[in-house]
Chains A and B, each alone.
Chain A
Amino acid sequence: MKLNKTYVIRFGLLWVVLFFCIVLSISLGSVSISFLDTLKVIFGLEIHNESLTYIIWNYRIPKALTAIMAGSGLALSGLLMQTLFRNPLAGPFVLGISSGASLGVALLIMGLSLFSGIISISIINDISLAIVASIGSFLVLFLVIGVATKIKDTMALLIIGLMIGSITAAVVSVLSYFSNAEKLQQYVFWTYGSLGDLSGVQLAILGIAICIGIGISIFSIKSLNGYLLGENYAQSLGINLKKSRFLIIIATGILAGSITAFTGPIAFIGLAVPHLTRQIFNTTDHKVLVPAVLLYGSIILLICDVIAQLPGQASVLPINAITSIIGAPVVIWLLLRKRKMVF
């Protein structure tokens, strides 16, 4: 199954679109920067306007990078989950990973003030939020892996992930019930998600995590293709089910966990991009799907980011809402147009 001509053309087009979206996302914002100036700054040329250069290098480019990494990582983990569970409704968060992150953040913001009024609010900042979110998501991840090694049925894992999600959601509800308005608002703001404000170190950590996740996924391509026939057939083809399942879960956990830790929950991308990709590429081969969802995920999150910026305005819309508002109609339209779900 070598990459044929149509795939080469499509991938070429995707790269062009991705580049266009990056430039667009960098040039648009509360301060509009012309396309040409943006290009000049990206390629290291002088534009005799230091403040614009500063904005691009310190705000816009980190944000675009975050969007690319978060979009591609979420889309890939969604694809992994859909293939592993052979369920079109699965997404990066079915294992309860984002719920774990939410719980960590909720405990920090709302729980801390409940149990000790002494500790000052000042410890709540982006860094500490990222840390507790990571701890939360990885605790859930380890729980899920522990369960996964115990049970044989993959579908049971799906239910257990959903149950863990319900438990954490309930705990968050209880916490918010006893919380004051200010704390509640702070928590809700975290749930809106945000692509901005990542420092260089945070970007590097996120980048490493994404690379590891992508690496493990590429290593799993063969078993992912085997899973297309179902677990029994995959096993009969020599695939080690336990090992491959473990790797797929680890990859998803690292991708979805690290992204949620740094950007907050971002809905929709992970669920929808794999469907979008399958509809457009009309294939189930993961050698095509994996790179394609990475590109599509980046492009779509960049577009959502541009829209959330409300170009020319000072205010920003919550990215977590925009992804669904923009993305859901696209998927509905695709399904209606093709009349047949490709899965």
Chain B
Amino acid sequence: MVCNNISFGIRPGECAAIIGINGIGKSTLLKTIGKLQPSMGGEIRVEGELLGDLSANKLAKRISLVLTEPIASKNLTVRELIALGRQPYTNWMGTLTTKDIKKVSETIETLALGNLKDKKCYALSDGQLQRVMIARALAQDTEIILLDEPTTHLDLFHKVQILKLLKSIAHQTKKAILFTSHEIELAIQLCDKILILEGKNNPFDEPCKLIENKAFESLFPADTVQFDALSGTFRIQK
């Protein structure tokens, strides 16, 4: 096992990041919470209920996901893709009720996707597609949204845009948002809480407290990059 002794919890309305070096198990942890892979030990609870006790459909109403893998069919329109987020609530045929349609339209409006809604997914840029995927998760109307590296392949502007979007969704809709990221500097500025996976202690706290406790310093080998506590950024050792 790469990483032991992980203990943390997030509340409604919090936006939290999981950071750590490549291969430490960020995605594994996220996928375990999303029940995409079996737990290797310990327990995960959603509002007091054990993850293992929740049926697939109940879980789908509580946790939604945005993954790194590309969607299988890029020939869906934006609206169709977002509407698939309503599947846990639809009948056996997947028929959308007026409530579902309203929810989809609301989501499109919230994320300002109005001008894209009839476009096919293959016609979208990476940043647009990521916003659509977040919209799909939002349409699923779950208490928790998990995102696996939501900012990869995006430029700085779109990275900030996505992270700000996540933060505002968490604060406004009182959802708990948890995502893995390599954007430590952005996470320090934009997240409410950060979980640092480093193997043994795995601290989880508010970014400024983590800085105070020098938690970021041991993240990377000090002869390559060093953390500057004053600016909250990493410096390359020359």
Assuming the contacts A236-B36, A238-B87, asked whether A287 and B56 have C-beta atoms less than 8 A apart, the reply is no
Contact at B60–A86, with CB atoms within 8 Å?
no
* Complex Cα–Cα for A301 and B146 (A): 47
Over the window 45-75 of chain B, the binary record of Cβ atoms lying under 8 Å from chain A Cβ atoms (1 yes, 0 no) is 0000000000011111101110101111101
List the one stretch of B12-20, B92-100, B173-181, B220-228 in contact with chain A.
Answer: B92-100
- Are the CB atoms of A230 and B56 closer together than 8 Å? no
Q: Nearest B residue to A243 by beta-carbon distance?
A: B56
A232 touches B67 (CB 8 A): yes
- A61 within 8 A of partner (CB): no
Taking CB atoms, residues of chain B closer than 8 Å to A230 are 67, 69-72
Of A129-137, A170-178, A218-226, the one with at least 4 CB within 8 A of chain B: A218-226
Q: How far is it, in angstroms, between the C-alpha of A9 and the C-alpha of B50 when the chains are bound?
A: 50
Contact A1 B65 (CB under 8 A): no
Contact A235 B73 (CB under 8 A): no
The answer to whether B94 touches A225 (Cβ under 8 A) is yes
Query: In the assembled complex, which residues on chain B have CB atoms less than 8 Å from the CB atom of A226?
Result: 84, 87
Main secondary structure of the interface of B (DSSP, over half): loop
Across the interface, do B65 and A236 meet the contact criterion of CB distance under 8 Å? yes
One digit per residue, 1 when the CB lies within 8 angstroms of any chain B CB and 0 when it does not, for chain A 279-309 equals 0000011010000000000000000000000
Q: Is the CB of A284 within 8 A of B60?
A: no
Are B75 and A284 in touch, CB under 8 angstroms? yes
Which residue, of B57, B65, B67, B72, has the highest number of chain A Cβ atoms within 10 A? B72
Q: Which B residues are in CB contact (< 8 Å) with A228?
A: 71-73, 76, 84
Q: How far is the CA of A222 from the CA of B91 in the complex (A)?
A: 9
Find the A residue at minimum CB distance from B140.
A237
Interface string of A207-237 (1 = CB under 8 A from B): 0000000000011011001111110110111
Q: Output the least CB separation between A280 and chain B (Å).
A: 14
- Chain A CB within 8 A of B126 CB: no
Which residues of B have CB within 8 Å of A284?
73, 75-76, 80
User: Which residue from chain B places its CB closest to the CB of A341 in the assembled complex?
Assistant: B75
Q: Tell me which of A86, A227, A237, A278 has the highest count of chain B C-beta atoms within 10 A of its own C-beta.
A: A237
Listed in ascending order, the chain A residues whose CB lies under 8 Å from chain B are 1-2, 86, 218-219, 221-222, 225-230, 232-233, 235-240, 278, 284-285, 287, 342-343
Given A236-B63, A237-B87: 18 more A-B contacts, CB < 8 Å: A1-B96, A86-B72, A218-B93, A221-B93, A226-B84, A226-B87, A228-B76, A228-B84, A230-B67, A230-B71, A233-B67, A237-B60, A237-B88, A238-B56, A238-B61, A278-B75, A284-B73, A287-B93
9 A-B pairs whose Cβ atoms sit less than 8 Å apart in the complex: A221-B94, A222-B90, A225-B94, A229-B73, A229-B84, A230-B71, A236-B63, A278-B75, A284-B76
Ranked nearest first, the 4 interchain pairs of A and B with the lowest CB-CB distance are A238-B60, A222-B94, A238-B57, A228-B73
